[in-house]
Structure 1
Amino acid sequence: MANHVLVPVDDSDRATQALEFAFEEHADATITALHVIDPGEFYAATGIEGGAMANYDQIRKNHEDRSEKLLEAARERGEANGIEIETDQVIGGVSRSIVDYADEHGVDHIVIGSHGRTGASRILLGSVAENVARRSPVPVTIVR
């Protein structure tokens, strides 16, 4: 039985299903919902738009605010299930940040939603869940 379960969250239905799965299967464990802010998303947005540089700090703040809203929704979902969860956010590459977080915070199980990519998009883009499963130092459950 897991003592500390990490559930990466974003705004996808699969992430919500993974969180629900963690509540059902690991109700007695410490559950941490983690949102990873990919810096590529706001670095890409700082290009030239209309002749002026976009405001990098504002873009980053917008991503952090969105992250906090996602984590608040996760906390509320936990409360609705009678479970108090921990939340955290980090900035970095998504797969690597999840694996590093698990390693650095005493996580002994990861529950992650699959985004269900198939074919060329999976080959070209890879899958966060697949990368986490391959690199994780702890067992990983992928929820479909």
Structure 2
Amino acid sequence: MYKKILVPLDGSELAKKALEHAEKLAKTFDAEIVLFEVVPFIPIYGSPELVTPLIIDEKQKEAAERYLADLAGELRGRGHKVTTVVRTGQQVAGEIIDFAKESGVDLIVMCTHGRSGLTRWVLGSVAHKVLTRAETPILLIHLKR
């Protein structure tokens, strides 16, 4: 049923909890796990003649790649097929949705941080955006902090 399971991560312990569920599903369906992280880029606006479209914090990107590689090593050690993807972008939810569609993902497994009220309004909810916009089935894990 599931052959490719996408697990979006952000480096937090809470997001990492989705891996437990993804592992069980991957084992059951002999599916590949795709570990995915979005490194935000910062648009820089200057004079009209010199507009730098983006600056990517290379150290942040390298840290994300190392983080995913370490997790992938652990999962491979337990017998899973794993790939890692680091993308850059301003809209994390959009990057997750686009990647899922482009790469033929069968299921997205992710945690919600459980923000509500003003915090959610100000920061938005990546999980909510993915849930309402993605065409791919989603397993959303809600854990208390």
Q: Give the TM-score band, short-chain normalised.
A: 0.7 to 0.9
The TM-score, its normalising length taken from structure 1, stands at 0.82
Asked if structure 2 preserves the Cα contact closer than 8 Å seen for 1:34 and 1:89, the reply is yes
The alignment status of 1:64 with 2:61, answered yes or no, reads yes
The alignment status of 1:79 with 2:81, answered yes or no, reads no
The aligned counterpart of 1:119 is 117
The aligned counterpart of 2:101 is 103
**Displacement of 1:35 after TM fit?**
0.8
Provide runs of 4+ in structure 1 moved above 3 Å. Answer: none
CA RMSD of aligned residues (A): 2.0
More helix, by proportion? 1
**Displacement of 1:107 after TM fit?**
0.6
**Displacement of 1:123 after TM fit?**
2.0
Unaligned runs of 5+ in 2: 45-53
The alignment status of 1:18 with 2:7, answered yes or no, reads no
Identity between Structure 1 and Structure 2 (%): 34
Aligned positions, number:
131
Unaligned runs of 5+ in 1: 45-55
Q: Describe the SS at the equivalent of 1:26.
A: helix
The aligned counterpart of 2:2 is 2
The TM-score, its normalising length taken from structure 2, stands at 0.81
Tell which deviates more after alignment, 123-132 or 96-105. 123-132
CA distance in 1, matches of 2:18, 2:128: 15
